[in-house]
Amino acid sequence: MSGVELSGLSFRHGRGPDVLDQLSLEARPGEVLGVLGVNGAGKTTLFRLIAGLLKPRVGQVRVGGVDVVANRSEASRRLGFVPDEPLLYPRLSALENLNQFAVLWGVPAAEARPRAEALLRETGLWEERNAWVEGYSRGMRQKVAICCALLHRPSVLVLDEPFNGLDMGAALWLRELLRARASAGDCILLSQHQPEVFDALVDRLAVLHQGRVVELLDRAEVARRGGTGEVFQRVRGAEGPHAVRDESA
Ligand SMILES: Nc1ncnc2c1ncn2[C@@H]1O[C@H](COP(=O)(O)OP(=O)(O)OP(=O)(O)O)[C@@H](O)[C@H]1O
C-alpha cells in the first residue's frame, strides 16, 4: 500500500511564475501529514495537482501507487478529496449528491445507502438530507463535501482546510475519524490554518515556502520548536516584511 508520492513537481498558473518549484514529498500510509505555509504558498495548488484537477508542468504525482496524469480515473478511486470550496451539485439534496458520488466511484447502491445514511447522521445532516444543498450554510456544505470524499472508503485522503465552517461537534467527529483512519493505515494529507488543529492531529509537518518543502518535521521536532504556531512564525519571518525576532541570535 502506498500513499502520495510527489517527485520534482513544478507548476505555474498560466504565464505566472512557478508556484511549485521541483517539489518532492512523500505522505506515507498510516500518517497524517500536515502542509503548512503562508497564504499563497501553494497548498491549494498542490492539493489540486494531487487530485488531478491540474497537471504538473514537470514532475510526477502518484496516489496509492498510481500515476495521476497517466491514469487519473484509477488514481481518483483511491483518493478522497475535500477541496478548499465544496464542489457539489447545488440543485440536488445532500442525499442525492452522495448518490451521484457513489455512482461516480462505482460504489454499489446497496453499500452506498447505509454508508450515506451513517455519514449524514454522524455529521448532523440527517434531518436536512432531502433539501437542496444550495440552501445550505457554508458549514453544512462543507459537511456534505466531507461525506462525499469518504463515501468510497479511499485509502488516501487529501483535505484542503476541511475544518472550515464545521461546528464543534462535526470538528471533533472529523478529528477522531482522521486519527482512526490513519491508525487503520490510510494516508492523510491536510492543510489548515489553525495551529491547535495541527498540534492535535498531525504526525509530520511539511513546511511549504517559495514553491518547495523547506522543512519536514515529526511531532517530537515540532514540539521541541514550541508547536506548530512557532514553526509557522519562523516561516513568516523568512518572508521578510513580517520578520520575527530571532531569539537565538
Ligand atoms: N487560478 C489561478 N490563476 C492564477 N494564479 C493563481 C490561481 N490560483 C492560485 N494562484 C496563485 O498561485 C499562488 C498559490 O496559490 P494557492 O491558492 O495555491 O495558495 P494557498 O497556499 O492555498 O493559499 P491560502 O492559504 O490562502 O489558501 C498564489 O500566488 C496565487 O495568487
**Domains of the chain, residue spans:** 1-78+157-238, 87-153
For residue 85, the surrounding DSSP H or E stretch is none
Ligand 1 pocket residue status of 41, Cβ below 6 Å: yes
CA 162 / ligand 1 centre spacing (Å): 17
Ligand 1 pocket residue status of 37, Cβ below 6 Å: yes
- Residues in Cβ contact with 94 at an 8 Å cutoff, skipping those fewer than 6 apart: 120, 125, 128, 129, 130, 131, 133, 136, 140, 144, 147
pLDDT band for 238, please (50, 70, 90 cuts).
Answer: low
pLDDT tens by residue, 189-208: 999 998 888 889 999 999 99
pLDDT band for 214, please (50, 70, 90 cuts).
Answer: very high
Q: Is 1's pLDDT higher than 80? A: no
Q: Cell for 138?
A: 457554508
| High-pLDDT (> 70) share of the chain, % | 94
- Count of CB atoms within 10 A of residue 71's CB? 14
State the average pLDDT for the chain: 92
Q: Is 240's pLDDT higher than 60? A: no
Instruction: Give the pLDDT of residue 82.
Output: 97
Residue 172 burial (10 A CB sphere; 0-12, 13-18, 19+): exposed
Q: Is 188's pLDDT higher than 90? A: yes
CA 241 / ligand 1 centre spacing (Å): 20
CA 13 / ligand 1 centre spacing (Å): 9
Of residues 200, 191, 244, 199, the one with CA closest to residue 222: 199
Locate the ligand 1 atom nearest the alpha carbon of residue 41 and give its number. 21
Cα 79 to Cα 82: distance, rounded to the nearest angstrom: 10
pLDDT tens by residue, 39-61: 999 999 999 999 999 999 999 99
CA 128 / ligand 1 centre spacing (Å): 33
Strand 32-36, strand 187-191: pairing: parallel
Cα 209 to Cα 37: distance, rounded to the nearest angstrom: 6
Q: Is 32's pLDDT higher than 70? A: yes
Instruction: Give the pLDDT of residue 233.
Output: 87
ipTM above 0.95, yes or no: yes
- Residues in Cβ contact with 53 at an 8 Å cutoff, skipping those fewer than 6 apart: none
The topology (CATH level 3) of 1-78+157-238 is Rossmann fold (3.40.50)
If DSSP codes are grouped into helix, strand and coil, which group holds residue 100?
Answer: helix
Q: Cell for 209?
A: 515556502
